Homo-oligomer: A and B are copies of this chain.
């Protein structure tokens, strides 16, 4: 790619960013868009009264939102949002530190050295036709002594990143502990999920659970609720709820005309109140019937609650029954987080479905190589011309070729990538996770490796050796192969950072283009739809892999093409501000995992470092500096040892809480008079809401607002 093409891309994207920011600044001030840009306050019913009066100030773009996003301290952010959100923002802070340090070395030390080289023998007379490759390590002459600077830079940078990693892991784990200490008693701290209950014929699952835990946890066992298959009932109750809400809206309708509706397309008009009232009564009868018939449909799994956190931890951490595939326990999720479209209580079924998911995941990764190959074709214009000769005349236009090489590829990748997260969520839920948070975490890891493989490796290798993919079976070849392929794709990835990083973040995150259009269409066609509104939650499984991919790019290209780092720094600053803004205004936390996502970030960074080292080994080999290549080998080993140390030092903190914390909190609770009320709540916390009597559930969920007496 030429420098001019990069500049074109930067120009286009800067323009788009500014445009989106300006539009955001204006649109977010319009009360009609509050649901899009201030979902949290709308959902919490704190939104300002919707005044339709015209206000000139609303049409002026201002940067006030930047200040408001910047100002709150981390503690304020924590109190308003969740600990997960704080950890999410820490990813940007961590990336800023890494890219800041790397950027200084890269731009002021490595870049001049690369540019001095004459390996590529370019014509520098016209700087606009200068290839970006002259800023990369490929331009340094073979065997040049300057490469030792790169060698030192690799060691210094790795040491700095490891220090930052340690620092951040330590900071986040201490915050996690502090957050646990300051937390109120929560049902999930006292509860475990038990699967594989060996129910004997002639006794019910409920009795079996009761007998087991009364015997072995005599002093701490509180209660349990056996799980039942309720998918049919769930459909029925959600249908009933929908009718109930429509009825409620009709009742509050001031204009009696609007209460009438046509029965069918050409039928006579009927009173909506009567019609829906009858329908609701029918549905509720069916629900009651189904509820009573469900008593027998037990699954051999149950939520078991204890009187202390320590007892729950014992149940989770120590094998319960003599057969390890029975009485399998795990920590319960928060009651509102329970979600299991593919729940299975049998050990062997879950194991088989995990294997199936692994195979399906591999299939998705392999099938995705097809769109990637198309994108790759677009950056190699010559190849495209040989494939489609009739395009030659169009492709020879400078503007077209620059747009195609600079912008189109990332756009197409973007499009295909947006299809993947739902697939990953599906795969993760098939694995048998019991909560949405776990499904999202699983999908996050899957997305991460998918992204790294399909964006990074597929692009790097398809340029050099897609047909020779089986060379990967020969591990000795890998460093050379990567050293060949990775620098060649530097310009593609710089363009990728600019289009996918800058514009997509601003447009899809800050401006919320899709929700905005969706909300406009909705308002046009259906009008206001009452108090059904719920603030969206942040899709960690989409966002974190995106950010981490930029981390991989930044760390691997630090040595090869440091020009990428300033662009990444800009991205991180933008991301930091925008996501703070969105977390404060748009996304409501749905669950709290206590920062369990951080280990994913840590592992990904370690992976990037080792990848960078392997490429460096290959590069020094290619550049005929075998001594440097050999001296590079200890670096990945040291990095992996550092990672191993961190796994031992910090990872257990993210898995479960230690006895020290649990007992301290338990002792605190003993002197708390409100614990009895909490235990009462705990007894019913994990009952399936669809099994509750209809009135009780509605009053619990807040449907039965004083507006609607029945």
Contact = CB atoms under 8 A, between A and B. Distances in A.
Contacts of A401: none
Interface in A305-341: 310, 313-315, 317-325, 327
A659 B216 contact: yes
Nearest to A315: B659
A649 B325 contact: yes
A216 B474 contact: no
Contact of A351 (B320, B475, B645, B657): B645
Contact of A355 (B641, B652, B659): B641
Contact of A324 (B320, B473, B653): B653
A215 B321 CA distance: 29
Interface residues of A, number: 41
A55 interface: no
B319 A658 contact: yes
Contacts of A661: 322
Interface string A472-504: 011110000000000000000000000000000
A310 B314 CA distance: 9
A321 B664 CA distance: 11
A533 interface: no
Contact of A663 (B216, B310, B319, B653): B216
Copies in the complex: 2
A310 B218 CA distance: 13
Nearest to A329: B659
Given A317-B318, A641-B355, A325 B659 contact: no
A648 B177 contact: no
A658 B476 contact: no
Contact of A319 (B315, B355, B473, B656): B656
**Chain A, interface SS category:** helix
A359 to B, nearest CB: 11
A320 B475 CA distance: 42
A607 B656 CA distance: 34
A649 B651 CA distance: 26
A660 B310 CA distance: 17
A260 interface: no
Interface string A192-229: 00000000000000000000000110000000000000
B474 A659 contact: no
Nearest to A316: B318
Given A347-B648, A648-B347, A663-B216, A322 B473 contact: no
A660 B324 contact: no
Nearest to A657: B319
Contacts of A658: 318-322, 324
A650 interface: yes
A318 B322 contact: no
A351 B663 CA distance: 29
A257 B470 CA distance: 87
Nearest to A641: B355
Interface in A366-405: none
A200 to B, nearest CB: 15
Contact of A648 (B314, B324, B656, B660): B324
Contacts of A652: 319, 324
A407 to B, nearest CB: 41
B474 A660 contact: no
14 contacts: A177-B322, A310-B314, A315-B659, A317-B318, A318-B658, A319-B652, A319-B653, A319-B657, A323-B649, A324-B651, A324-B653, A347-B648, A348-B645, A474-B475
4 nearest CB pairs, A to B = A324-B652, A319-B658, A216-B663, A317-B317
Interface of A: 177, 215-216, 310, 313-315, 317-325, 327, 347-348, 351, 355, 470, 473-476, 641, 645, 648-653, 656-661, 663
